[in-house]
């Protein structure tokens, strides 16, 4: 397609290359981040993931070799060949990622005649032939390569041998390994090699495809029919470097309010104010710590966004302020669909100002969602986002503390939105087809801006759909899972890969959203949930209740034990969030992120780390009360029994229903809080340091947990040093009230 490489021109950090039939360019964004670009649709980057100019000055050297054009930075060597084949080498000229030049080998071919026949019985076909996308890169795989990332896709941790699509999708069927797409699109992955690592971000928000070696042992493919060939290569020594670079480019999760790391209780079906009050009271009576109650679409008047149903929720202001007295922060759901109804101000204003998307003939486009006939805000337009941001005032003025964006794939009941519905993409007209994967991103951004402007605390925005870069605005959850053991197992994989994909603040519906949970399942789920970034129990309307107390005393006692654990670990978890804000490195991570040379963890789907210090080996199977735990190199202490284990081995751990095996790395000084019912003013009273081992160092961060004062330096940073069992403290930064008491438990 590109033809022969003819000539090139160096323009700063960018090399513009002319081929026989097309031009292309390679640009060093930094010495480690290389952009590969060829215009197919427009000659702009059209990135909505990357904001601002991310280039960092670096020197590049360009020279011709016999067949290649060689571009060198301080960290990478790029060779460009005819047909715009691009190879990456490290600085010692060791190959890191090469374009595959062999023949494609389709998995199978089903002749049309047979296909029809098989289809009658309901068989479906994933791929018939090696797909050749207009825009694509086919890259070599080495025997030992493993692949991570791609957001919260189903399946296993290592994405090698699997195939995915990026097309934000709300599919009500139980999420299966065979699902190619879910609600989120994060076209970024990390390839870990036997001796090296790299990342690629295919910044194309159209529908994109990732065949990660399913078609062949020898290569993987990513591609699209639309948009541009526009991808970034990240060089580094460790997986953590790659995440740092990717989140440097697309942005990082900002530090959230401390209470948002507490426990959240939700369900679809809290139909009345009385019910919400009952939940709030029962929680306190049973001493289950809880910081937030979420109101699903039930609170609205006929599912109209930014309205309140005054028949069932008589006095929302009163309710919210009473709940506040009890320590609860209320989060409300908001969908994008605006009900078509004369006299409904959100609809009327949007129509008057031309804020809703139009069909190809220019009529306002109508589909159905919860309120019935609905129209869809054109979030790609700045004025629309500003308008939507302003709508948040309706909630904020009532005391709402967080907004949960749902249905923003966008989901619709009367078939999907047609490709040609007209959407705006900032400064130009676009289509649904091109903007689909950005819809949730832009909605979350609008919501974030609204909360930031009108609430002024750190915005708490939850989104179901997103694109790369959405981590700057929102956290997420994995959508409509079900009360299935398989979905508990899946949650570990999803949270690990989300974290590696720069979208670290994630949770799953604890207990399962669809179908009905059991005592045992919810017990094992809360054990994983309490160590997940976002900790929320949520369930579907029409399904059995699953609040902590509905399964009897024993289950509730265990449930409480793990919510208590969460509240004890809060200062540690908050520290990991601070690290994420600074580096992108996630709280919830697979072992491979920390032990990337260890073959035993490259495919580990059932253990995870919480920050650098805690290793968790949850029970994910029904009826199981003991499990094999792999402890990587180093020493490890059993969190509960304090028993010491040498690492680099498997141990058998008894795990009765009330136990979630958790191990602390030797040399850890773990900051903890006393258990409390909710995060309150007294959070700065006491810190309890638990030490594991004789020697260690730990940096602990403390601020007011609510606003942006920390950005002006209003925070403390403590350095704790443990030497031969003696603990000393230094203040690395001191500009916030200090703990009244620090207790040490050796
Ligand atoms: O069509 O608002 O994923 O969490 O409870 C269902 C009702 C719409 C889907 C969300 C779920 C939420 C539900 N919503």
pLDDT score, position 127: 55
Q: Which of 480, 684, 703, 717 is catalytic?
A: 480
Query: Does residue 130 carry a pLDDT above 70?
Result: no
Q: Which of 27, 215, 406, 449 is catalytic?
A: 406
Query: Does residue 538 carry a pLDDT above 80?
Result: yes
Query: Does residue 618 carry a pLDDT above 60?
Result: yes
pLDDT category at 129 given cuts 50, 70, 90 is: low
Strands of the 635-638 sheet, one edge to the other? 588-589, 608-610, 614-616, 662-665, 635-638, 644-646
* Ligand 1, atom 12, residue with closest C-alpha: 268
pLDDT score, position 742: 97
- What pLDDT digit, counting tens, does each position of 708-726 carry? 999 999 999 999 999 998 9
Task: State in Å: Cα 586 to ligand 1 middle.
Answer: 26
pLDDT score, position 124: 75
d(CA 401, CA 386): 19
- What pLDDT digit, counting tens, does each position of 562-592 carry? 999 999 999 999 999 999 999 999 999 999 9
Distance of CA 626 to the CA centre of its chain: 31
pLDDT score, position 613: 98
Among 606, 530, 518, which Cα is nearest to 566's? 530
Q: Which of 241, 409, 509, 638 is catalytic?
A: 409
pLDDT score, position 725: 86
Is there an atom of ligand 1 within 6 Å of 297 CB?
Answer: yes
Query: Does residue 69 carry a pLDDT above 70?
Result: yes
Residues constituting the chain = 746
Is there an atom of ligand 1 within 6 Å of 296 CB?
Answer: yes
Mutate to test the pocket of ligand 1, among 184, 407, 462, 546 (most ligand atoms within 8 A of CB): 407
Among 600, 601, 583, 599, which Cα is nearest to 591's? 601
Q: Return the minimum-mean-pLDDT range out of 108-122, 351-365, 402-416, 429-443.
A: 108-122
C-alpha distances out from residue 681 to 293, 327, 565, 703, 706, Å: 19, 10, 20, 12, 11
pLDDT score, position 122: 83
Mean pLDDT of 642-650: 98
Among 689, 710, 707, 633, which Cα is nearest to 666's? 633
pLDDT score, position 293: 98
Task: State in Å: Cα 662 to ligand 1 middle.
Answer: 33
d(CA 26, CA 24): 7
Ligand 1 atom nearest residue 540's Cα: 5
Mutate to test the pocket of ligand 1, among 171, 268, 405 (most ligand atoms within 8 A of CB): 268
Q: Return the minimum-mean-pLDDT range out of 126-130, 660-664, 708-712.
A: 126-130
Mean pLDDT of 378-385: 98
Question: Known catalytic residue: 406?
Answer: yes
Alpha-carbon dihedral sign for residues 38, 42, 44, 46: negative
pLDDT score, position 107: 78
- CB within 8 A of 640, min separation 6: which ones? 659, 662
Mean pLDDT of 525-534: 98
pLDDT score, position 112: 81
Longest dimension (CA), the chain: 78
Alpha-carbon dihedral sign for residues 331, 332, 335, 336: negative
pLDDT score, position 544: 97
Question: Known catalytic residue: 335?
Answer: no
Task: State in Å: Cα 287 to ligand 1 middle.
Answer: 28
Is there an atom of ligand 1 within 6 Å of 480 CB?
Answer: yes
Is there an atom of ligand 1 within 6 Å of 268 CB?
Answer: yes
Sole residue written with tokens 């374009």? 99
d(CA 530, CA 512): 14
Is there an atom of ligand 1 within 6 Å of 333 CB?
Answer: yes
pLDDT score, position 39: 98
Q: Which residues pair with 358 in a beta bridge?
A: 364, 422
Mutate to test the pocket of ligand 1, among 174, 270, 271, 296 (most ligand atoms within 8 A of CB): 296
Ligand 1 atom nearest residue 479's Cα: 3
- The pLDDT mean for the chain works out to 97
Mean pLDDT of 657-685: 97
Task: Provide, rounded to the nearest whole percent, the portion of the chain with pLDDT above 90.
Answer: 95
- What pLDDT digit, counting tens, does each position of 440-455 carry? 999 999 999 999 999 9
- What pLDDT digit, counting tens, does each position of 6-26 carry? 999 999 999 999 999 999 999
Query: Does residue 128 carry a pLDDT above 70?
Result: no
- What pLDDT digit, counting tens, does each position of 136-159 carry? 999 999 999 999 999 999 999 999
Mutate to test the pocket of ligand 1, among 298, 409, 480, 513 (most ligand atoms within 8 A of CB): 480
Query: Does residue 460 carry a pLDDT above 80?
Result: yes
Cβ–Cβ under 8 Å, residues 85 and 68: no
Count CA atoms within 13 Å of residue 281 on its CB side.
Answer: 8
Question: Known catalytic residue: 677?
Answer: no
Structure tokens at 586: 């996630």
């Amino acid at each position: 397609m590109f033809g022969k490489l003819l000539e090139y021109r160096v323009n700063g950090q960018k090399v513009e290359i002319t081929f026989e039939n097309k031009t292309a360019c390679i640009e060093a964004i930094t010495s480690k981040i290389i952009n590969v670009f060829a215009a197919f649709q427009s000659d702009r980057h059209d990135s909505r993931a990357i904001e601002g100019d991310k280039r960092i000055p670096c020197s590049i050297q360009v020279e011709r070799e016999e067949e290649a054009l060689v571009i060198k930075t301080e960290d990478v060597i790029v060779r460009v060949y005819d047909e715009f084949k691009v190879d990456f080498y490290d600085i010692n000229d060791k190959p890191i990622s090469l374009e595959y030049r062999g023949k494609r080998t389709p998995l199978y071919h089903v002749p049309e005649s047979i296909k029809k026949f098989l289809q009658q019985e309901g068989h479906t076909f994933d791929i018939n032939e090696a797909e050749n996308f207009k825009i694509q890169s086919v890259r070599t795989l080495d025997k030992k390569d493993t692949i991570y990332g791609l957001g919260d896709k189903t399946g296993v941790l290592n994405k090698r041998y699997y195939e995915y699509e990026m097309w934000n999708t709300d599919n009500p069927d139980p999420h299966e390994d065979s699902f190619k797409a879910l609600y989120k699109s994060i076209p970024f992955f990390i390839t870990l090699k036997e001796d090296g690592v790299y990342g690629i971000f295919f910044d194309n928000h159209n529908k994109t495809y990732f065949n990660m070696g399913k078609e062949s042992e020898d290569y993987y493919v990513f591609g699209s029919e639309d948009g541009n060939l526009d991808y970034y290569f990240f060089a580094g020594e460790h997986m953590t470097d790659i995440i740092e670079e990717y989140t440097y480019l697309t942005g990082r999760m900002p530090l959230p309010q401390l209470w948002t790391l507490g426990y959240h209780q939700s369900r679809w079906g809290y139909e009345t104010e009385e019910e919400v009050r009952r939940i709030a009271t029962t929680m306190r009576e049973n001493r289950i710590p809880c910081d937030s109650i979420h109101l699903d679409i039930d609170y609205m008047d006929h599912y109209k966004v930014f309205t309140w149903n005054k028949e069932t929720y008589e006095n929302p202001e009163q309710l919210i302020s009473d709940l506040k007295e009890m320590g609860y922060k209320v989060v409300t759901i908001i969908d994008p669909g605006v009900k078509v109804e004369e006299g409904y101000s959100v609809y009327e204003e949007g129509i008057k100002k031309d804020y809703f998307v139009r069909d190809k003939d220019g009529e306002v486009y109508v589909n159905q969602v919860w309120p019935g006939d609905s129209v869809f805000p054109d979030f790609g337009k700045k004025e629309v986002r500003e308008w939507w941001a302003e709508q948040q005032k309706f909630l904020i003025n009532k005391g709402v503390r967080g907004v949960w964006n749902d249905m923003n794939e966008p989901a619709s009941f009367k078939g999907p939105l047609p490709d040609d519905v007209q959407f705006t993409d900032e400064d130009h007209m676009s289509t649904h087809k091109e903007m689909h994967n950005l819809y949730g991103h832009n909605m979350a951004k609008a919501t974030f801006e609204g909360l930031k402007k009108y609430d002024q605390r750190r915005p708490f925005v939850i989104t179901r759909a997103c694109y790369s870069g959405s981590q700057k605005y929102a956290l997420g959850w994995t959508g409509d899972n079900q009360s299935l053991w398989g979905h508990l197992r899946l949650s570990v994989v999803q949270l690990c890969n989300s974290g590696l994909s720069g979208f670290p603040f994630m949770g799953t519906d604890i207990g399962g959203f669809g179908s009905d949970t059991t005592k045992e399942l919810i017990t094992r789920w809360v054990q994983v949930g309490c160590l997940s970034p976002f900790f929320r129990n949520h369930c579907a309307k029409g399904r059995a209740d699953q609040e902590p107390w509905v399964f009897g005393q024993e289950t509730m006692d265990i449930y409480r034990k793990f919510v208590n654990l969460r509240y004890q670990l809060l200062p540690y978890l908050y520290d990991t969030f601070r690290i994420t804000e600074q580096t992108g490195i996630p709280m919830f991570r697979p072992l491979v992120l920390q032990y990337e040379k260890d073959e035993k963890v490259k495919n580990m789907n059932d253990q995870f780390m919480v920050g650098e210090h805690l290793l968790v080996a949850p029970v994910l199977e029904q009826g199981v009360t003991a499990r094999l735990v792999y402890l990587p190199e180093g020493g490890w202490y059993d969190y509960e029994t304090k028993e010491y284990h040498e690492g680099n081995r498997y141990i058998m751990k008894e795990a009765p229903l009330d136990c979630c095996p958790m191990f602390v790395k030797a040399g850890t000084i773990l900051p903890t809080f006393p258990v409390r019912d909710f995060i309150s003013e007294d959070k700065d009273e006491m810190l309890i340091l638990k030490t594991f081992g004789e020697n260690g160092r730990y940096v602990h961060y403390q601020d007011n947990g609510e606003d942006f004062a920390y950005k002006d330096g209003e925070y403390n940073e403590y350095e704790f040093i443990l030497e031969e069992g003696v603990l000393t403290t230094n203040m690395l930064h001191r500009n916030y009230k200090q703990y009244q008491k620090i207790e040490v438990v050796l």
